[in-house]
Structure 1
Amino acid sequence: MRLDVNALGVFYRIAREGAGLAAGRLTRMTGVETRVGVTKLNFMRGEEIRRDFEDGSEKVGVRVKLTGGLDGHSIVVFERESAFRIVETLLSESSDEFDQMTQSATTEVGHIMNSGFIDGWADVLETVIDVSTPEFVAGASAEPFFADIEEAPGDDDLALLFQSQIEAVGTEIGFSHYLFPRQETMARLLEQLRTNEGIEYNKLDGFDRMAEQGAEEVAKTATTLTGIETNVEIRRLNFVSLETIPETVSNETLVGVAFEFDGTPSGYLLFLFDEESAYEIADAMIPMGLDENEGFGEMGKSAIMELGNIMASGFLDGWANVLDTAIDHSTPEFIHDIGAAAVDPVIIQLGENQDFAFVFDTVVTADGREFDCDIYAIPDESDLERALNDLDVDRIDETPTTAKFEEVENS
């Protein structure tokens, strides 16, 4: 199976259109104004999909089987409380248990949402997609939702998963849509939509594994520098529209560093912490600690820039070693801004040449505490395609990732 950016871009636009149709139908059915949240094409391993569901909260869903122009399964998943709020809107009565009536109402809403998503695919692909009778599912783990679905990936398998979110404005109602297409269907569609030779799917799997190795190197160097046991984990590789990246950034004061890197591939790398996490990390890095009267200050800025430089080297040196190429990165640019403003300059520069980006979702845990840290590794799409075509997947596990870095001068 081969893919290229054009084909993934078409898939993204189809998923976005389907989400719009689903949102409109939810509004007509409930009278509640809705808006489409972030739509993502996720490359996720099965263990990460299951982890998303095992957060301790009860969920309910409505799933259908798809045949015809698109084979697979489509599932709409609600948090349990969101489902009850929708039922309350429809039936004008509250409930905290799923009896026959509330289950029927939830199933009806989920079926209409599924149909909206699937109609978006059918319209753009100019095909007919048949939808089975909806099935109500519930549970606090992934098993009731995915265990018996053939298209669901195994723990170590990298799957192409479509996720869309719709939010009801002014309420706490929200849900996610998961589309598990059959691999044979995706291969056929990719063949139709590709505009160039593209890259083999297993090369993208290799790129994901490269990022995981880079994350391990980041964790080692961060632990050495701060004295705090640190773990950095890549959760998934997302293919997203550049314009939606600011929507994913927390609307709070952020501290971080940004780099531009050149070589094969080139692109941008950002590390963003919430202000409290950045302060704690900087305080741990400085032998005498930060001066509480000065707040973050110049010493804190210098510490975060030094950490960012080491983290960047951990990522990029590992990539360069595996790709057998050279990747140089700029001196770190310090960021201290609110929400989307922290990423807007990078998005504007990238947007001059491309509409979409591959972005890694990452979790940083230090001393048992999960820090609010996002790592955006955004390679230039054309450079990435060239690099992956030349990638020898067997080199990934054989090549050591040894980070090299220089001290950062305080500016």
Structure 2
Amino acid sequence: MEINKLNEMYLDVLKELGNIGAGNAITALAKMIGKKVDMHVPSVKILDFKEVSDIFGSPDTIIVGIYFDLEGDVKGNILFALDLNSASSLIWNLMGLEVKGEFSELERSALEEIGNIMAGSYVSSLSTLTSLNMKISPPAISIDMAGAILSVPAIKYGEISDKILFIETQFVEGEKLIKGDFFLIPDINSFDLILKTLGVEVDGK
């Protein structure tokens, strides 16, 4: 099944998965920083790869990207992306450190762990809902231009599809709005498998 042929029913299922997964990820984050975190309703969309870098304003915008391979029954990748202000706010909440200039190795490690906790919780909830075995690789962090970071999955999966599942997650700690975006990039067969496991017929199968 081509991802760009997803109809409204398929998209509704994926949106619900996005909502539940993001909710569990935010709950995990709240436990990690020991503070109450409120989440806005996530926005879930199917986007072209070429549209993704514009989410951050322009392809030249510097962002933090935390990248995972998706393994098990479902193959693909997950990217958790933060703008610099949101990343700095998380460092402050977690470590009480004010980021000045470039992120230190300690701060980069903390962001990797935040991404690991959130992506792990997200994937765990999807695994529970679908009864499929899913796990993520250790995180790999990159702080670079949005276009450069997003070119990694685009190159890897460009021959299979030019689409990506985008889950925009905004959450509030105190008075600070923190924006973290999940990009779920399962291969075509994995999209089919997820939907079929949930009882959604794929191309009449």
TM-score relative to the length of structure 1 = 0.44
The answer to whether structure 1 residue 378 and structure 2 residue 185 are counterparts is yes
Letter in 2 for 1:333: A
Counterpart check, 1:209 vs 2:16: yes
Q: For the residues of structure 2 that align with 1:233 and 1:379, how far apart are their CA atoms? A: 25
1:272 aligns with 2:91: no
Q: How does 1:156-167 map to 2 (within 5 A)?
A: 160=8
Aligned residue for 1:238, secondary structure, equals: strand
* Residue 50 (structure 2) aligns with: 243
- Partner Cα separation in structure 1 for residue 143 and residue 99 of structure 2: 18
Q: Which amino acid aligns with 2:2?
A: V
Overall identity of the aligned pairs, in %: 22
1:306 aligns with 2:147: no
1:343 match: secondary structure: helix
Q: Does 1:365 align with 2:180?
A: no
Query: Across the two proteins, how many residue pairs are aligned to each other?
Result: 198
Give CA deviations for 1:142-180 in whole Å, capped at 9, x if unaligned: xxxxxxxxxxxxxxxxxx4xxxxxxxxxxxxxxxxxxxx
SS of the aligned residue for 2:42 comes to strand
- Whether 1:332 and 2:139 are equivalent positions in the alignment is yes
When normalised by structure 2's length, the TM-score is: 0.83
What secondary structure, in the 3-state scheme, does the structure 2 residue paired with 1:372 have? Answer: strand
Residue 5 in structure 1 maps to residue 26 in structure 2: no
CA distance, structure 2, for counterparts of residue 205 and residue 351 of structure 1: 25
Larger Rg: 1
Q: For residues 115 and 102 of structure 2, what CA distance do their matches in structure 1 show? A: 20
Report if aligned partners of 1:290, 1:296 keep a CA contact under 8 Å in 2: no
Q: State the alpha-carbon separation in 2 of the partners of residues 247 and 238 from structure 1.
A: 14
Q: Which structure's relative contact order is higher, taking Cα pairs within 8 Å and 6+ residues apart?
A: 2
CA distance in 2 between partners of 1:338 and 1:307 (Å)? 20
- Candidates 90, 110, 116, aligned match of 1:281: 90
Superposed displacement of residue 255, structure 1? 1.6
* Partner residue, 1:122: none
The answer on whether the counterparts of 2:25 and 2:122 sit within 8 Å (CA) in structure 1 is yes
Letter in 2 for 1:8: K
Structure 1, gaps ≥5 residues long: 10-42, 44-159, 161-200, 394-411
Q: Does 1:344 align with 2:151?
A: yes
Q: What letter corresponds to residue 5 of structure 1 in structure 2? A: E
2:104 to 294, 297, 302: 297
SS, match of residue 132 in structure 2: coil
Question: 1:330-365: per-residue Cα shift (whole Å, max 9, x none)?
Answer: 110102012312211121111132222332233232
Q: Summarize deviations over 1:364-386 as a string: whole Å, max 9, x none.
A: 32223222322212222321112
